[in-house]
């Protein structure tokens, strides 16, 4: 079954304690990205990756890091989380296909609370 | 820059009512347009899409037509069901180097029996 798997689904942590949210896809997609979803703001892109070892900032990258060492995995790293990073996070993947209107597949989401 | 504007919710309807959720966009060039749906506790999933002007996307009784002249992609369904209750996101994909998805703020639909 084609899927994007995120872990954990729920996480409560304290300010400053480093954490990693994992994301893995089994569709051999080149393009992966991370979004955060906040009320009234929709989904905003944090980082994206167009292929292995190629990553770039999205619209709200401050306080986040990513890596793309393998095609299937795209972890999101919060080196020193702060309360304003409390949000619902989604990982997504899609084929590269520029201009083709390719479908993005989303993970189930990670609800992060930073206290 | 590119952006998507969709009507604010929540939208509350009775079962079998007609649904319209408005979506307009601003973009240079010719973006692809999408509607994604998010059921409670789940991630987003593609509902329908259109990749060029005058295309109509359809799925599960929902429809939307890519209108370049009005820069719109309104979502419609003739008869909603309780199971359609969800958050609906309009989105565009720019065809530039990043091929990024840009989302609207989402519209919560609540269908009552």
With 0-12 / 13-18 / 19 or more C-beta atoms within 10 angstroms meaning exposed / middle / buried, residue B73 is buried
Q: How far is A106 from chain B (nearest CA, A)?
A: 6
Nearest CB among B43, B44, B99 relative to A98 is that of B99
Nearest CA distance, B71 vs chain A (angstrom): 17
Q: Which of A26-35, A101-110, B20-29, B88-97 has the lowest mean pLDDT?
A: B88-97
Closest Cβ–Cβ partner in A40, A103, A108 for B46: A103
Average pLDDT, rounded, for chain A: 93
Q: What mean pLDDT do residues B30-46 have? A: 92
The Cα of A88 is separated from the nearest Cα of chain B by a number of Å equal to 10
Q: Is B70 exposed, middle or buried (0-12, 13-18, 19+ CB in 10 A)?
A: exposed
A4 interaction partners in chain B (CB closer than 8 Å): 43
Q: Please, are residues A72 and A58 in contact by the beta-carbon 8 Å criterion?
A: no
- Please compute the mean of the pLDDT values over residues B39-57 and round it to a whole number: 93
Task: Name beta bridge partners: B14.
Answer: B112
The pLDDT confidence band at residue A17, using thresholds 50, 70 and 90, is very high
Interchain proximity B98–A50, CB inside 8 Å = yes
Pairs across A and B, CB distance < 8 A: 60
Asked if the model's pLDDT at residue A99 lies above 60, the reply is no
Task: Say yes or no for a CB contact (<8 Å) between A109 and B100.
Answer: no
Buried b (16+ CB within 10 A) or exposed e, B27-50: beeebbbbbbbbeeeebbebbbbb
- Cβ-based neighbours of B79, under 8 Å, separated by 6 or more: B16, B17, B18, B61
CA angle A100-B19-B109, nearest 5°?
85
């Amino acid at each position: 079954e084609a899927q994007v798997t995120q872990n954990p689904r729920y996480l409560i942590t304290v300010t400053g304690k480093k954490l990693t949210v994992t994301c893995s896809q089994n569709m051999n997609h080149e393009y992966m990205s991370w979004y955060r979803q906040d009320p009234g703001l929709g989904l905003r892109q944090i980082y994206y990756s167009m292929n292995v070892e190629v990553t770039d900032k999205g619209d709200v990258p401050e306080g986040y890091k990513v890596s793309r060492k393998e095609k299937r995995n795209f972890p999101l790293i919060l080196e020193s989380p702060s309360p304003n990073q409390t949000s619902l996070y989604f990982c997504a993947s899609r084929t590269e296909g520029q201009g083709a209107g390719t479908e993005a597949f989303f993970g189930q989401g990670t609800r992060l609370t930073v206290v | 820059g590119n952006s998507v504007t969709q009507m604010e919710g929540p939208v509350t309807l009775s079962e079998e009512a007609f649904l319209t959720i408005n979506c307009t966009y601003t973009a240079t060039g010719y973006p692809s347009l999408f509607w994604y749906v998010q059921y409670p506790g789940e991630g987003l999933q593609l509902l329908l899409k259109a990749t060029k002007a005058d295309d109509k996307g359809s799925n599960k009784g929902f429809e939307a037509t890519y209108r370049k002249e009005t820069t719109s992609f309104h979502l419609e369904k003739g008869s909603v069901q309780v199971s359609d209750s969800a958050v609906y996101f309009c989105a565009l994909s720019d065809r530039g180097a990043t091929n990024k998805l840009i989302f609207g703020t989402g519209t919560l639909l609540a269908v009552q029996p």
